[in-house]
Structure 1
Amino acid sequence: MGLGRIKSETSGQRTGLLRGFSLEMTGKDVQALEEAADLLPPGTRVNVTYLGNEDFTTRVNAARVVRERGLTPVPHLSARRLRSKQELEEFLAALGEAGATEEVCVVGGDLGEPAGPYEDSLAVIRSGLLPEYGVRQVSVAGYPEGHPHIAPHLLWRLLEEKHRALRQQEIGMTVITQFGFDSGLVVDWVGEARDHGIGSPVRVGVPGPAGVKRLLRYARRFGVKSSAGIAQKYGFSLTNLLGTAGPDRFILSLGERLDPVGHGEVLLHFYTFGGLRATAQWVRDNESAVAS
């Protein structure tokens, strides 16, 4: 899809979505961040994931580098990977020393059984430890296309309980959705969140530009539905798996469907499957196109 069409059709909505975007890195992506930093607006939120194959020091160092580059670190806390209350406190303390505890993202984690006392992200929130270590804003996960192991009614109940628990601790909440390819499902989900009393900002998960094969691989991993459906809605061809796909069509459709009054604050969160710099460059190029 050409940028001229994007500009002429929905420049206002799309510019608003691209403004204030966030993106994601792993602890081992420090060099990639260095290479992308000049393309990122000051203060851009950069989530630092909590992967099982990375250690404590790697995660904290990545958050420190994000801060040193004039960006806003949002380190992840993976509830099921935390082995003890002491480990959680040590991690929060180290993040505090790195200037990286004002905002965190609390996720359940993908272990079948908890490694310690925290069964899910709500348990970490209810521990009461977050405000003690300077946390003022918490991101939690949202699932517009559902969760493979959690029923929809339970997902909504848990989101409401997280919202309530954070408000009681005077901590702000942001919802970051898992990435998807169907803008209609996303917009319907945001509307339903508002109906459930969740007025928090929503950051819609979007895959940055990446190879088609890689996108399909991550889609299967995270439970996104059929490859044929993805291709139809996202605008790439299954006969050209060597190609690259960007989020142009998805974001255009999202901008057309969103109503600022009814849907509230909606921003974008990029999953950088194709690389940090490629994603940052894509945003820079598209921002320039719609602003000109």
Structure 2
Amino acid sequence: MALLNFKKRDAVENGPVNPTVEAFLQGYSIEVMPRTAEKVEDFRALLPEGTRVYIAHIEGTPIEDMVKTAKRISDEGYPVMPHFPARIIKDPATLENWISMYQGEAGVDQALLLAGGVANPHGDFDSSMQLLESGLFDKAGFKRLHVAGHPEGNKDIDPDGSTKNVDDALRWKQKFSETTDAEMALATQFAFEAKPIIEWADSLKEAGIDIPVHIGIAGPAKLQTLIKFAIACGVGPSLKVLQKRAMDVSKLLLPYEPTDVITELANHKAANPDFNITNVHFFPLGGIKTNANWAINNGGASAKPVNS
């Protein structure tokens, strides 16, 4: 059985590596913000070669800080994928300027397009679909465009608790993926339970949506921190996994780690090679170093840093 035939690490004290998890973590990505990136002295001491680094653009962050962070990480050898939150972009001229700045100063050719967490748009754009429709990313020759996925729905988009608008948007994005030269993928909100993730991913295939899924996973963090972020980000039913853990006094003070959910997804992927979840995307809610070290300890060769 694969789960019992673990490979030994070079550093024996780190314990054995689950080869199924190691394979599943191959090509994982991670998310930073300018202020969290500043705390990392050198990403090459933490991340494998070629790791895609998303840069989250929070309302109020100057574009200059975003571009500076993109350039720094790109100069260290990593492909950078900045967020383009539609609702904080004033107009097409602003969007074109941002694209130009990222390309000219940091060599960026990929982006995550999303509505953003702002209730009222700052200008012309309200959704990632409008950003795609602008044609500006294709005009600039972007090679990869990611859009948001929601395994547990999104109450901002479907306040009634249904998934109608989310599903309609996915069908629109599927059609767009068939016309653009850019590679597309769904980068999802994080969840804490494998079963609903698997059911959601399978439902996409049944609906004819074949855009690859990069599944969002919350990295290791204090339980209280995760619950706070999960509620703020609208995480759905899988939040009960954290709430149940919070009721267990023996686990309350222990940090949460994504070992269980990743192992279940990895086992499913190994048993179903055509499973449409192709990559793991980490939200390092407990810190970039903490998340990277968890990956190093569990991912074997898939997570070996450049400087190791």
Do the structures match in fold with TM over 0.5?
A: yes
Does residue 28 of structure 1 match 2:35? yes
Single out whichever of 242-251 and 192-201 deviates more from structure 2: 192-201
- TM-score (normalised: structure 1): 0.90
**How many residues are treated as equivalent by the alignment?**
287
Distance 1:6 1:90, change over 3 A: farther
Q: Distance in 2 between matches of 1:197 and 1:35?
A: 42
2:46 matched to which residue of 1?
Answer: 39
Distance 1:94 1:146, change over 3 A: same
Distance 1:236 1:257, change over 3 A: farther
Q: Which residue, 251, 272, 288 being the options, matches 2:284?
A: 272
Q: Distance in 1 between matches of 2:107 and 2:284?
A: 21
Give % identity: 25
Distance 1:21 1:227, change over 3 A: closer
1:200 matched to which residue of 2?
Answer: 211
Which letter maps to 1:199? D
1:245-260 alignment runs, 5 A limit = 245-258=256-269, 259-260=271-272
1:182 matched to which residue of 2?
Answer: 193
Q: Which residue, 153, 161, 176 being the options, matches 1:165?
A: 176
Q: Which consecutive residues of structure 1, in runs of 5 or more, have no partner in the other structure?
A: none
1:115 matched to which residue of 2?
Answer: 122
- State whether residues 88 and 116 of structure 2, in contact with CA within 8 Å, keep that contact through their aligned partners in structure 1: yes
Which letter maps to 1:203? H
Deviation at 1:19, TM superposition (A): 0.8
SS of the residue 1:28 aligns to: helix
2:167 matched to which residue of 1?
Answer: 156
Distance 1:142 1:261, change over 3 A: same
Distance 1:36 1:277, change over 3 A: farther
- State whether residues 91 and 124 of structure 2, in contact with CA within 8 Å, keep that contact through their aligned partners in structure 1: yes
2:10 matched to which residue of 1?
Answer: none
RMSD, matched Cα = 2.5
- State whether residues 32 and 275 of structure 1, in contact with CA within 8 Å, keep that contact through their aligned partners in structure 2: no
- TM-score (normalised: structure 2): 0.85
Q: Distance in 2 between matches of 1:6 and 1:108?
A: 44
Distance 1:236 1:262, change over 3 A: farther
Q: Which residue, 15, 37, 57 being the options, matches 2:22?
A: 15
Distance 1:23 1:85, change over 3 A: same
- State whether residues 176 and 202 of structure 1, in contact with CA within 8 Å, keep that contact through their aligned partners in structure 2: yes
Does residue 210 of structure 1 match 2:221? yes
- State whether residues 228 and 238 of structure 1, in contact with CA within 8 Å, keep that contact through their aligned partners in structure 2: no
Does residue 282 of structure 1 match 2:294? yes
Q: Distance in 2 between matches of 1:6 and 1:142?
A: 34
SS of the residue 2:39 aligns to: helix
Deviation at 1:205, TM superposition (A): 0.6
More helix by share: 1
Single out whichever of 151-160 and 257-266 deviates more from structure 2: 257-266
Deviation at 1:71, TM superposition (A): 0.7
Deviation at 1:169, TM superposition (A): 2.3
Q: Distance in 2 between matches of 1:205 and 1:246?
A: 14
Deviation at 1:29, TM superposition (A): 2.3
Q: Distance in 2 between matches of 1:197 and 1:137?
A: 21
Deviation at 1:154, TM superposition (A): 1.8
- State whether residues 106 and 138 of structure 1, in contact with CA within 8 Å, keep that contact through their aligned partners in structure 2: yes
2:72 matched to which residue of 1?
Answer: 65
Q: Which consecutive residues of structure 2, in runs of 5 or more, have no partner in the other structure?
A: 8-15, 304-308
Distance 1:247 1:236, change over 3 A: farther
Single out whichever of 282-291 and 195-204 deviates more from structure 2: 282-291
Distance 1:160 1:101, change over 3 A: farther
SS of the residue 1:60 aligns to: helix
Q: Deviations over 1:226-257 (max 9, x none)?
A: 68722378x67543543211101111111223
Deviation at 1:43, TM superposition (A): 1.3
Q: Deviations over 1:126-178 (max 9, x none)?
A: 11000122211111111111111323122122012122223312221111110
Which letter maps to 1:83? K
